[in-house]
Amino acid sequence: MNDNDTTPTVYLVDDDASVRSALTRALNAEGFHVLSLASADAFLAEYDPEKPGCLVADVAMPGTDGLQLQSVLTSTDRALPIVFITGNANVRMSVQAMRGGAVTFLPKPVRLSELAAAIREGLERDHGLRQRRATRVAIQSRLAALTARERQVFELVVAGKMNKQIAAQLGAAEKTVKVHRGRVMFKMRVRSVAELVTLATQARESSRPPL
């Protein structure tokens, strides 16, 4: 695995070549790995959602503009934190961008210190999102390994039911419920009911659509 597989990429999207050149040099000097692109469509063709990063995008661009690009990204489960820059800011644009989850909205000419700070915040957000996504995938994989009966036992244990109550509700022997419960704990990789409840809560929260 080479460094670019693990080093976060700052995608710089702006149709102004002089802006791209100046910001790329400045951000490289700040230690960022920058990929400069002239349009939103070029970014979408290049973007690998499996790789960590942050997007710095101009708002007003020919073709797909910055806000439209934000909409495309947020419609997927692979949204990327965005720092918007623009020479023609207005309240409507900034409100729409921030409601869409943008890190911030910076006017041109951009102060390097502000841009670098915003990018670092964006990269931190991206790291957190990827950690939560990995946790969600792991939990879903464990849940998928449960049989239908084990899933019933899982739900009832999480609801606080005792083995005797579960047995009565499922019409099964208490000894059988104990066996299922043990398999649930093993497959979910937990050692206590408290841990099982935590996983169940995380599974429910991850299944909710983003705001």
Q: How confident is the model at residue 194 (pLDDT cuts 50, 70, 90)?
A: very high
The token pair at 150 is 């084990």
Q: How far apart, in whole angstroms, are the C-alpha atoms of residue 204 and residue 8?
A: 29
Counting residues of the chain whose pLDDT is more than 70, the rounded percentage is 90
Amino acid residing at 80: L
Q: For 20-65, give the DSSP string.
A: HHHHHHHHHHTT-EEEEESSHHHHHHH--TTS-EEEEEESS-SSS-
The token pair at 128 is 């957190």
Counting residues of the chain whose pLDDT is more than 90, the rounded percentage is 61
State pLDDT tens for residues 104-151: 889 888 999 999 999 999 999 999 888 888 888 899 899 999 999 999
* Mean pLDDT taken over the chain: 88
- Regarding pTM above 0.85, the answer is no
Helices (H), the chain: 3-6, 17-29, 40-46, 66-74, 91-99, 112-144, 148-158, 163-170, 174-187, 193-207
| Cis upstream peptide for 8 (omega within 30°) | no
Q: Is 56 exposed, middle or buried (0-12, 13-18, 19+ CB in 10 A)?
A: buried
State pLDDT tens for residues 32-54: 999 999 999 999 999 988 899 99
Look at residues 181, 109, 115, 174 and name the one whose alpha carbon lies nearest to residue 147: 181
Per-residue pLDDT, averaged over 196-209, amounts to 76
